[in-house]
Every structure is written in structure tokens, then in C-alpha cells.
Chains A and B, each alone.
Chain A
Amino acid sequence: MGNELTRFSTWLSTALKWLAPLIFGVLMVTVWEVLLLVINPENFLLPRPSEIFSELIDDLSKISDDRSKIWAATKTTGFIMITGLFWGIVWGVATALLVTLSRAANETLTPIAVAINAIPIIAVAPLFNNWLGLTSPRSNQMVVMMLVFFPIFITTARGLTQVDSQQIELMNSYAASKWKILRSVRIPNALPFFFTALKLVAPLSIIAAIVVEYFGGSQNSLGALITASASFADYSKAWSVVVAGSIMGMGLYFVALTAEKITLARDRSPRLLLIAWQKITGRTTGA
């Protein structure tokens, strides 16, 4: 009896955790819809949610015969976002490791990184376009990468260096090498820091990817589609593209969140990511 009651209350609290924001979200969309219908049904600057969603569904229904503009644009922008994010993370983590292991590197690279971060990166996107080609994805990838780089670098570096000094002393008492200390103490210590930064830059990377597309890059992208729709006063189209971008951003956030949960759940070993990957892909290569 008591056991079942506990189980029910656990179930209820889990359900509420998901239901509460869901109900609130639906409520907000409904208010938006009803309010516009009542106040100004002919409104054309701000379309109703139903119009936006029907536009989105209508467009996405054309995926099968390859005429969906939003799907094509999502693929282009998604590619730039993912690759930019990937290289930003790679360089950010690599630089963080470098400045942790080498004092000289720290003194040389950190001020430069800080200086680069002070550049309003999106503002120089047009310059990148001139250098790397107006329609090339390179310049857009570069902007996303540079935007991602700094938060990842500075946060990961903090996690790698902000280690309990007693733990370092203890490792020294075992005559542990720099690498062993990195592997056993610094990296596990830095993982929560890294994931905090990742959850921050994941949505940021989609913003950056779309905004730089206002200046150049492929004409077949989310940013270009928004500008084009807006200039033709096709606002429900523009908004449906925004929705597509939001979904992508949320998806990326959840990927980051899941990676964090998997890694931090047990002994903070990045090895777990590999195991998860092998489970997903069904591969069973040796550990």
C-alpha cells in the first residue's frame, strides 16, 4: 500500500515536472492565438501561431519531393552550426589544455584569446565574407567557431586549473606525472565546467549561424530565408523559419544535456561517451 503510494507520488512528480512547462507553453500559444483573433483578425505584421505552424507543416510536407525550402535551409545552416561548434570546441579545449600544461603558453595565449574575444565577432562577418568568399560556408563557420571558442576555452581552463591544491600535493606524493595528474584529477574536475559552457554555446551557435547569414553565405539558408520572407512581407513564412531554428537550438541543447548526464553520472570518465556511442551504433569494439 505505502509502497504503491510512494511510487504513485514519484510518478506524479515526474509527470508534473514535464507537464507544468508544457501546459504553460500551450497556454501562452493559445493566448497569443485568441488575443490576435479577438483584437485584430486582419493582423498581418504578427501572424497567429496556427498560421505559422500551418506554413511550417505545409513547407515540410514537401520534403519527399525535395521542394521544402525550410528543410534545405535547415540542412545548410545546421551544417555550418555543427561544424562551427565542433571546431570551436576542439580549439577551445585544446587551448585550455595547452595553457594548463604550459605556463609560457598561458602567458602568451590567454591575453590574445581575451583580446580576440573583445572583437565584436558578428560585426566582422562581412569582412570574413570578403576574405573567404561571399557564398562560401567558410566565413560563416569561422564566425560560429570564434564565438564558441572563447566560452569553452575560458571555462574549461578554469576547471582544469581550479583544482584542490591538496589533491595536487597528494598526486605529487605519489610521484604522478603531469599527464597522470591531468588524466586523474584535472580533466574530471573540468568536465562539469566544460558542460556548463557547452550548454551555453550550443544555443549561441545557432544564433550566430543565422545572424551571419544575413550578411552572406548560401542563399539557401535559414538566415537568408528569414530576410527574404520578411522583405516580401511573408511574415508567417519568416516566423516558421524562426521556429525551425528554435527547434534546432533546443535539439542541440538536449544533446549537450544528455552528454553531460551520461558523463557525470558515473566516474566522470569521457570513456562513457564512447560506450554510449557504441550502444547507439550497436558497435562493440574493444574497450
Chain B
Amino acid sequence: MEVVSISNLSKIFNTGKDNEVEALREIDLTVTKGEFIALIGPSGCGKSTMLRLIGGLIPITSGELSVNGKTPTKAREERDYGMAFQSAGLLEWRTARKNIELPLELMGWSKAERIKRANEMLELVQLGEFARSRPAELSGGMQQRVAIGRALSFNPALLLMDEPFGALDEMTREHMQDQLLDICHKTESTVIFVTHSIPEAVFLSTRVVVMSPRPGQISSIVETNLRAGDNTADNTKIRNDERFYKKVTEVREALYGK
């Protein structure tokens, strides 16, 4: 089943002005249900722009783009996806639980339902005892986990993530990667994940989409899928596996255009 379908998509900012920028050129990509797509490429190649286009946050310039068979705007209005950014973007005056409740509030859930779901999400991201803490009292990694709990709170079938672990240290990052995979398997989510890290892209994804410098184009797609559908696979084993290093090399070569 196609979740995201992109064909011949281009995006130009400030068309016709002095500061015109061609961000994306002729992108073709189809994402099916349950896939984990990692988007990787040099800075400024339009990865984040692509995510925002899929999210319907900015309009496309030309080409076709549909999310769950709808226009991105319609999909956004029907809350088909959850989004997470590099910085957690929590509301500092709300507690962790209240931050997770935010999208649910907007969707008109009752208070009891909201609290129940927010508590479940806090358990999921292993922050159960921090429900009443404010963002300032949490570490960067914990804030990021709250943000992921918030993105998942309303059970979106599609997750758009823009370098969500970019600001984390290596240990927290690996821990978060394991948790994210676990959550995605439990919820059967489809994920589009922007990252700067080649090992992260390889470890998480089923496919790595490698992009060229601006104007962003898809230069190659590397099939990774190290778990091959086995969700119980040992993450440490995968990280140490020879196939993992082979795929890392493959993505690196694709990235540097060897």
C-alpha cells in the first residue's frame, strides 16, 4: 500500500526573485506501508524541505505528491502524520505530560482520554516518573523522548522526523534508535527520517535515499533492511554485523559519488 507517492517533484523558493533557490529537482519516490526511509545528503540538499513538502507545510512548485492518496494539505488537515524535529520544541510552561497532550487537545479528546494516552506514551518512552516535570528539568535526550511521545500520541500511521537525534550524544542516540524501532514495530508505523549520520541511516532503515547537493536530486537508493522483517533481531548484533559495515560503505560511496 502506498503511503507517500512522489513523482517529478520540484521545489523552487522565491520564484522570480533575486534570491531564487532551486531546492529540489525532479524527485521520484514511493514509500509503502511499514517502510523506514532514511533521507541522507549534504547540508542544504533539501532533505528538510522534502519532509515539509510531504507534511503539507509548504507548497510544491511542480510535480505530483500524495500522502495516503490525498494532497499533503488534506493529509495534514486530517492529521495523518506526526512530526518530530531536531530540537524537541516542547512548550516550556507545560509539564512533560501536558506537552504530549497538546495534539490530543487540538483534536478534541476528552481530558480523561488525554491523560490516559499521555501516560501510556510516557511509559513507552520510559519517562513514566517524569510526567510532572517541565522541559527545563529534563535532559536533552529526555526532552527528545517527550517530543517523540508527542508525535506518536495520536497514533499517526506516518512519522516525519527531521534529525530528531541530531543533538544527542552517541550513547543516548543508540538507545533512542533502539526505542524508536521498537515503537515503530509495535505501532506498525511508516517512517521518513532525515539524518546526517550514515550509520544511523543504515541501522534504522529499510531503504536509504541518498541525495545530491543542491538542487537536491535522488542520486541513489540503497536497500538496507538489515532486519529483513524480523523485528526481534538483536540490535547489538546488527550493529556489529559485517553486513552493517558493508551497507555503511555502500551508502558512503553513493554519497560521495564514487
Contacts and interface: CB of A to CB of B under 8 A. Distances in A.
B106 A267 contact: no
Contacts of A171: 106
Interface residues of A, number: 18
A185 B91 contact: yes
B89 A166 contact: yes
A278 interface: no
A267 B77 CA distance: 27
**6 closest Cβ contacts across the A-B interface?**
A268-B93, A173-B83, A166-B89, A175-B77, A174-B103, A174-B106
Interface stretch (B94-102, B203-211, B229-237): B94-102
Interface in B157-171: 160
A194 to B, nearest CB: 14
A91 B107 CA distance: 32
Interface of B: 52, 55, 57, 76-79, 81-83, 85, 87, 89, 91, 93-95, 98, 102-103, 105-107, 160
Contacts of A188: 91, 93
Contacts of A164: 89
28 contacts: A164-B89, A166-B85, A166-B89, A167-B89, A169-B57, A169-B85, A170-B85, A172-B76, A173-B55, A173-B57, A173-B76, A173-B81, A173-B83, A174-B106, A175-B76, A175-B77, A175-B78, A175-B106, A176-B106, A180-B106, A184-B102, A184-B106, A185-B91, A188-B91, A264-B93, A267-B94, A267-B98, A268-B93
Contact of B93 (A170, A173, A267): A267
A54 B94 CA distance: 51
Contacts of A166: 85, 87, 89
Interface of A: 164, 166-167, 169-176, 180, 184-185, 188, 264, 267-268
Nearest to B160: A173
B92 to A, nearest CB: 9
A268 B82 CA distance: 26
Contacts of A185: 91
B93 A172 contact: no
Contacts of B78: 175
Given A164-B89, A167-B91, A172 B57 contact: yes
Nearest to A175: B77
A209 B214 CA distance: 62
B89 A170 contact: yes
Contacts of B77: 175
A267 B89 contact: no
A154 B77 CA distance: 33
Contact of B105 (A169, A173, A184): A184
Contacts of B103: 174
A250 B199 CA distance: 62
Contacts of B95: 267
Nearest to B75: A175
Nearest to B78: A175
Nearest to A264: B93
Contacts of B79: 174-175
A185 B106 CA distance: 12
Contacts of B106: 171, 174-176, 180, 184
Contacts of B93: 188, 264, 267-268
A23 to B, nearest CB: 35
A264 B89 CA distance: 19
B67 to A, nearest CB: 12
Contacts of B105: 184
B56 to A, nearest CB: 8
